[in-house]
Amino acid sequence: MTRCGVRVIACAALAWAVAWPAAAQPVLVVPFELERFDARVGWLGEGVAIGVTSALQAHGVDVVSRDERLAALERLQLPPAAPLTRATLVKVAELVGAARVVLGQVAERDGTVTVQARVIDVEAASLLDLPPSSAPATTLFTVFDRLGATLSGRATSTAPSPVVPSVPAFESYVRGLIAPTTDAQARLLAQALKMAPAYDAAREALWDVQTTQGAHAQALATAGGVIGAAVPGATRPAWRLRAASSLVHLGRHDEAFTLLSALAPSSREASVPALLGVVQLRRGSTPQSGRATYYFNQAVERDAGAADACFNLGYAYWLDKDALAAAYWLREAVRRDPTDGDAHFVLAAALAASGAGPESEREHELARRLSDRWERATVGDGVPRGLERLPDPAQRVSPGLEMALSAGAQRDQRALATFHVDTARRAFEAGRDQETIREVQRALYLAPYDADALRLLGRAQARSGLLQDAADAFKIAIWSAESADAQVELGEVLLRLHDPGAALKAAERALLLQPGLAAAVELAARARAAGGAV
């Protein structure tokens, strides 16, 4: 390349980097591609992404974390390490709210690592190649620092640097993250910690793996136990919270309660009251120590978008024999996660106890479809204990991104449900009632509380002569979103079921909701003539 060409690239990179700090949106760094496959250095692709992410954070740039990147890829059903097209990368960036994507290529030859970074500007749909950066493998972190400075436009870091391990410890850490089995992950992460005992990221990853394996005594030791004298940084709130979680898993509830109670006054983490609630459910509570519902209410207040928090609160109310409060919070749980079979089953029990029979049956049917656990269970069998969910004490995904991911999933579900409802509506207009019923049921699997879909189901069932099924569908539609028109449709079916009294009540309710509604006035007159109360 000519000297002029090098100058043009450098000027372009500098102009782009100077503008970066003003951007409010974060940056997404993805694994770099290997110039050629070499198992010996296969870890470098993910390693460069982790190193550049840390360097950008140290230079004051808001960066999407690795956990957030993996959550977005999982949401889009994409492999975590495979190369992605530019269009797919832009889609991932849009999902996590990133303005730019850093990607590129990495090569290792004769002990020297060379990184060629590229940057996609999501809004401008432009791609910029940055000058390559090289360093001996033994000083790999200097490459990350250079890229952090170039990409941020800041020569020095603006935040305290985390403990930088040796390159061998960093390699073991990255290999541990991407290892195919939990045994291999645990072995490599423990090796990284042995080489660098103060390596916090490796300790966090090892605790995660041990918790996933169910090795909670080992996880507690990794977290530093309760006192934490032997583990660097273990007295910090984040590590004491992990230790408390391990204690809960081990059934050492009194110790966990003491540790969590000490953390509670200064912590705003939703997982602190959530764990306290789990402890109280499992060991029993007193008014002095606080009921589980008290702590779960705090968890919901701190993370209102979390389906598990709503489930725990509703489940605790059910165990306290407060069916109405249980139904309210369990309904909030399934609104946030319509595929939660446990929540649908406990909601079915709460609705049955509240006298809402048709709604209970609907929830029970959804639970059977969604989870093998409830396939043969009946509401009469009772709700088992032990369904409460333990929170993850590490905030891996920011609440904002969690809401974005959840909203994206819900949008997809709504779009597919809308497709089925539209197909059902066309079938209904053509007089094909069985096809209508099938398509609406598919829609309701994705959107259980779609009142319009439920009313369409009721119309098709009524026209097919399935009057009791139709009445139940209209009742659930009214429970989901009451309207005068739905009450009239219910009343018409009740009248055909020879229940003029109930039909009259539906008509009167419709008139209360919409005074003077002609269809409701006419229905009320026919109901009275058929023997309904005056």
Q: What is the CATH number of the domain that holds 67?
A: 3.40.50.10070
Local confidence band at 76 (pLDDT 50, 70, 90 cut-offs):
confident
H helices of 115-264, where?
140-152, 167-178, 182-195, 200-213, 216-222, 237-249, 253-263
In a domain, 256, yes or no: no
Burial class (CB in 10 A: 0-12, 13-18, 19+), 380: exposed
In a domain, 421, yes or no: no
Which residues have CB under 8 Å from 398's CB, separation 6+? Answer: 68
Question: In the numeric block, which tokens belong to residue 170?
Answer: 């960093």
Question: In the numeric block, which tokens belong to residue 131?
Answer: 């000058």
Number of separate domains in the chain: 2
In a domain, 102, yes or no: yes
Residue 77 DSSP SS3: coil
In a domain, 31, yes or no: yes
**The last residue of a domain, from among 162, 186, 215:** 162
Q: Which domain holds residue 522?
A: 482-534
pTM, two decimals, is 0.75
How many other C-beta atoms are found inside a 10 Å radius of the C-beta of residue 5? 9
Question: In the numeric block, which tokens belong to residue 382?
Answer: 């009772």
In a domain, 156, yes or no: yes
**The last residue of a domain, from among 128, 143, 162:** 162
Handedness of CA 447, 449, 450, 455 (dihedral sign): positive
pLDDT in tens, 398-451: 666 666 666 555 666 677 788 888 999 999 999 999 999 989 988 887 777 788
**The last residue of a domain, from among 100, 132, 162:** 162
In a domain, 516, yes or no: yes
> What is the rounded CA–CA span in Å between residue 460 and residue 462?
5
pLDDT in tens, 90-147: 888 888 888 999 999 999 998 899 999 999 999 888 889 999 999 999 999 999 999 9
Q: What share of the chain is helix, strand, coil (3-state, %, to 5)?
A: 65, 5, 30
In a domain, 318, yes or no: no
What is the DSSP code string of 210-229? HHHHT-HHHHHHHTTTTT-T
> 């954070």: which residue's tokens?
57
User: What values do phi and psi take at 363, rounded to 5?
Assistant: -65, -40
pLDDT at 422: 92
Contact (Cβ atoms closer than 8 angstroms) between residue 193 and residue 202: yes
In a domain, 462, yes or no: no
Distances (CA, A) of 426 to 46, 176, 423, 441, 463: 50, 54, 5, 15, 15
